[in-house]
Amino acid sequence: MQPELLRAEIVRWSSCSAEELQARREEVLPILAQFVEALSAGRIRAAEPTPEGSWQTHSWVKQGILLCFRAGRLRLQRLGAWRFTDVDTLGLRWFTPAERVRLVPGGSAVRRGAYLAPGVVCMPPMYINIGAYVDEGTMVDSHVLVGSCAQIGKRVHLSAAAQIGGVLEPPAARPVIVEDDAFIGANCGLFEGVLVRRRAVLAAGVQLTATTPVYDLVYERILRGTPEAPLEIPEAAVVVPGIRLLDSPFARAHGVGLATPIIVKYRDAQTDARAALEASLRAMFS
pLDDT higher than threshold 60 for residue 76: yes
**Per-domain boundaries in the chain:** 3-75, 91-284
8 Å CB contact between 240 and 204: no
**CATH 3.40.30.10 is held by the domain 91-284:** no
Q: What tens digit of pLDDT does each residue of 135-153 get?
A: 999 999 999 999 999 999 9
pLDDT for the residue 278: 58
Q: What tens digit of pLDDT does each residue of 6-63 get?
A: 999 999 999 999 999 999 999 999 999 999 999 999 999 999 999 999 999 999 999 9
pLDDT for the residue 277: 52
| Averaged pLDDT of the chain | 93
Between 274 and 223, where is the model more confident? 223
pLDDT higher than threshold 90 for residue 279: no
Q: What tens digit of pLDDT does each residue of 87-102 get?
A: 999 988 889 999 999 9
Q: What's the CA gap between 88 and 112, in Å, rounded?
A: 11
Between 253 and 284, where is the model more confident? 253
pLDDT for the residue 275: 60
Q: The whole model's pTM is what?
A: 0.92
pLDDT for the residue 276: 58
Average of per-residue pLDDT across 173-180: 97
Q: What tens digit of pLDDT does each residue of 218-256 get?
A: 999 999 999 889 999 999 999 999 999 999 999 999 999
**CATH 3.90.1150.10 is held by the domain 3-75:** no
